[in-house]
Amino acid sequence: MSLVKDSLAPRADRALAALLSDLAERGLLDETLVVWMGDFGRTPKIDKKYASRDHWPFAFTVVLAGAGLPGGAIYGRTDRHAAHVLEHPVSPADLTATIYSTLGVDPQTAIRDARGRVYPISHGRPLLRLWESS
């Protein structure tokens, strides 16, 4: 875990800060949505057998920046072990709907698959309250 704490996380932190600073300096941050996330969370406890953490679908972190979002806001809360969501759960569908909505695309926009079946691009609801404090 020291590799993450001492090397990987600081590098990722600097990279995100540099991206956001560059976008702000160029006047592009308010019209750009930055989404910083992985595709799953990690188990709250380290696996003793392999000294690692496995996939964990019950809670994970997403950073959204720019696009008029107020900076420094935290949405939702997990238990003290980051194992389970306690407040404001967000589904992957709600996240995609939020991204589409921010980009000006109606999340209920229909698309057709190869067989001609119609599906909305997202089944979620955009989290518009993220912009409320701006």
Helix intervals (H) in 4-126: 9-25, 92-102
The predicted-structure confidence for 81-124, as pLDDT tens digits, reads as follows: 889 999 999 999 999 999 999 999 999 999 999 999 999 999 99
Nearest C-alpha neighbor of 44 from the set 33, 36, 52: 52
CA distance 90 to 60: 10
The predicted-structure confidence for 32-73, as pLDDT tens digits, reads as follows: 999 999 877 787 877 777 777 778 888 888 999 999 888 888
Does 14 have pLDDT greater than 90? yes
Question: What Å distances lie between residue 42 and 18, 45, 54, 57, 64, CA to CA?
Answer: 26, 8, 6, 8, 19
CA dihedral angle for residue 24, residue 27, residue 29, residue 30, rounded to 10 degrees = 130
Query: What is the model's pLDDT at position 116?
Result: 97
CA distance 23 to 74: 21
SS3 130: helix
| Residue 41 vs residue 29, higher pLDDT | 29
> Residue type at 97?
A
